[in-house]
Structure 1
Amino acid sequence: MGHEDRRLAVLRAIVEDYVATEEPVGSKALVERHGLGVSPATVRNDMAALEEEGYITQPHTSAGRVPTDKGYRLFVDRLTTVKPMSSAERRAIATILDGAVDLDDVVQRSVRLLSQLTRQVAVVQYPTLSRSTVRHVELVALAPNRLLVVLILSTGRVEQRLVELAADLSDDDLADLRSKVMHASVGSTIAAAAAALRGLVPEREGDDVALVVDALVDALSDHRSDERVAVGGAANLARYGEHFDTAVRPLLEALEEHVVLLKLLGEAHTGGTVTVRIGHEGPYQQLSATSVIATGYGPGEEAVATLGVVGPTRMDYPGSMAAVRAVARYVSRILDES
């Protein structure tokens, strides 16, 4: 291989060894462990060149080298082959997520699963209502003058409202009201559906229509979930004792602030891209010793929210990227079917 390729091979070996052993990596260990097919002197030269170019650095207390943010970046961009999940891991994902009873449960289980698979802190944003659409509306007559209004959104969220009517409603009137309401809202975004439903109520045209529309608009405007995230696996940070002041403490503080976590996760990208932000590339200076691996999830090709893992920069990038991608795909499939 050319010296460029060999240098990359040395960098890859340093990243993998440092992540695995938690020890700065020396040239002797590299030659012994990786048998790079060249002399120790050549490896030392390669390491000197990598250090000069800013891909690795020497921590002051040690003879070995550790990757810099720039080194991890090159590793993630050029050297990482995202290893597919093992069939056992895939089965575990299916088993855990298939048992979920509703959207909140899916989020809670995803967070637990991600933190177990990656041994990092997992963060899952609740699907934001503002981007979801109305999938279905059902009006169920519980009595001639009492309706159950059921609203189902594309995120799988279900809202129910009881409506006491001013007068008894005939089956024909109910069917008529149902088709009007469906026509106005299904397939539309929250905002558009609310506007169209309000348009169904010309000046006090029959109080019952107004009552049903009010109930639906109320259900649509229930935006509580917009800024919520679930966090799991904070205890995994105990593995990073040597980075307590630089990475662990700032991250523990950030876990309290949902707005900070949402900004860390970043925008939900469609199309299954997994984004990796390393160290100083993130939005917060105080979290510059932290990396984030995140991706969007949602029904079909639509990303309605983001999930990912956060941890010190010394993390298993290929494994974590694979887990984030696999869990997001599975959650998306569940939302697609619900």
Structure 2
Amino acid sequence: MSEQRRLDVLRAIVQDYVATSEPVGSKALLDRHQLGVSAATIRNDMAALEEEGLISAPHTSAGRVPTDAGYRRFVDQLGHMKPLSRSERVAIETFLQQAVDLDDIVDRTVRLLSSLTHQVAVMQYPSIGTATVRHIELVSLADTKVMVVLIMSTGRVEQRVLTIAHTADQLLSLRDVVNQAAEGRTRAHAADRLDAWAEQRRAGAKPDSHPDDSTPTSVGVIRDFLAEEREERVVMAGTSHLVRSGQDFPETIGPVLDALEEHVVLLRLLQQMEGDDVYVRIGGENAIDGFRTASIVSAPYTAGGIGVLGPTRMDYLTTIAAVRAVARYVSEILEQ
């Protein structure tokens, strides 16, 4: 029995079932695909695929549907990359480049990905832990009030009014100190460097190239701001697509919807990727119980993860291509 022919039959079954949601029989395969063999041969191939656990009969009809293992074999061995058309690539790039700020980039990304794949799209907000400080600006509001403007490498901008006694010259010196310590470093690393600077000053040692008029107290206030814990966020769009696919879940869609409500769960989902390319988890491969009847296609971008979630009866080729392309464009925009 030809292994390649059997895989061709599996590919045809996956493609037809994804397109029609109906179990696929040998006659339908003969009618729709140029397999070059008899109906009896196809039935034998289908029997072998069923014995391997790659397809199964949902009921007593002659049709078969892919199992989780069958989808996995399709993705790993048969799912040749389906490239996006030039018009699709241009549309993605144009839509994302029209964003006015970081929040708009994230919102546009999940809406775009959901629209392209007809699935639920999820995106980890640019990670605070891995982002680096681009610049810190200090703006005097009063003799003892300073607005600190923190600009991160992801484009995220934070503002905070802090109590810092200062003169104009002292504020300029303080800005030089904090930027020398922070620029190009994560918030945590920058906070550690400011700690070390303040400790040197308290010990009476003057660090090279640092001005005399910045005090450990002022540096400490900004250090505390940088060291504050920030909650990681996940943004989602397209839940309605999942609800419309409710019939594709074996029992109920409830556990999937419940899991989607838990942002900690979604963060775990996006952080479980392996390597730098698209990562596909199908049905029971998911460690999160609520997603064991779903498939997840995810990819890393500059400062986090992005992906889609839907039923195992998913158009994997289109979804993988869309997730990869959108993740790449988001990375390019954030790095500008």
Q: Same fold (TM over 0.5)?
A: yes
Q: CA deviation at 1:277?
A: 0.4
Q: In structure 2, give the amino acid aligned to 1:180.
A: V
Q: CA deviation at 1:219?
A: 3.8
Question: For residue 209 of structure 2, what is the aligned residue in structure 1?
Answer: none
Among residues 274, 277, 281, which one is paired with 1:277 in the alignment?
281
Q: Return the alpha-carbon distance in structure 2 between the equivalents of residues 29 and 324 of structure 1.
A: 31
Aligned pair in 2 of structure 1 residues 111, 167: CA closer, same or farther (>3 Å)? closer
User: Which digits, 9 at most, give the CA deviation of each residue in 1:281-336, with x for residues without a partner?
Assistant: 101234321111001111xxxxx211101111010001001111111011101110
Question: For residue 207 of structure 2, what is the aligned residue in structure 1?
Answer: none
Q: In structure 2, give the amino acid aligned to 1:217.
A: R
Question: For residue 173 of structure 2, what is the aligned residue in structure 1?
Answer: 176
Consecutive unaligned residues in structure 1, runs of 5 or more: 299-303
1:1-338 matches, within 5 Å, as 3-140=2-139, 147-163=146-162, 165-170=164-169, 173-201=170-198, 202-203=201-202, 209-210=215-216, 212-226=218-232, 228-244=233-249, 246=251, 248-267=253-272, 271=276, 273-298=277-302, 304-337=303-336
Aligned pair in 2 of structure 1 residues 104, 246: CA closer, same or farther (>3 Å)? farther
Consecutive unaligned residues in structure 2, runs of 5 or more: 205-211
**TM-score under structure 2 normalisation?**
0.89
Q: Return the alpha-carbon distance in structure 2 between the equivalents of residues 194 and 247 of structure 1.
A: 48
Contact 1:127/1:225, CA 8 A, preserved across alignment = no
Aligned pair in 2 of structure 1 residues 113, 212: CA closer, same or farther (>3 Å)? farther
Q: Return the alpha-carbon distance in structure 1 between the equivalents of residues 274 and 182 of structure 2.
A: 26
Contact 1:80/1:318, CA 8 A, preserved across alignment = yes
Contact 1:166/1:207, CA 8 A, preserved across alignment = no
* CA-based RMSD: 2.4
Q: Return the alpha-carbon distance in structure 1 between the equivalents of residues 26 and 124 of structure 2.
A: 43
Aligned pair in 2 of structure 1 residues 291, 84: CA closer, same or farther (>3 Å)? same
Aligned pair in 2 of structure 1 residues 314, 123: CA closer, same or farther (>3 Å)? same
Question: For residue 301 of structure 1, what is the aligned residue in structure 2?
Answer: none
Q: In structure 2, give the amino acid aligned to 1:234.
A: T
Secondary structure (helix, strand or coil) at the match of 2:245 reads helix
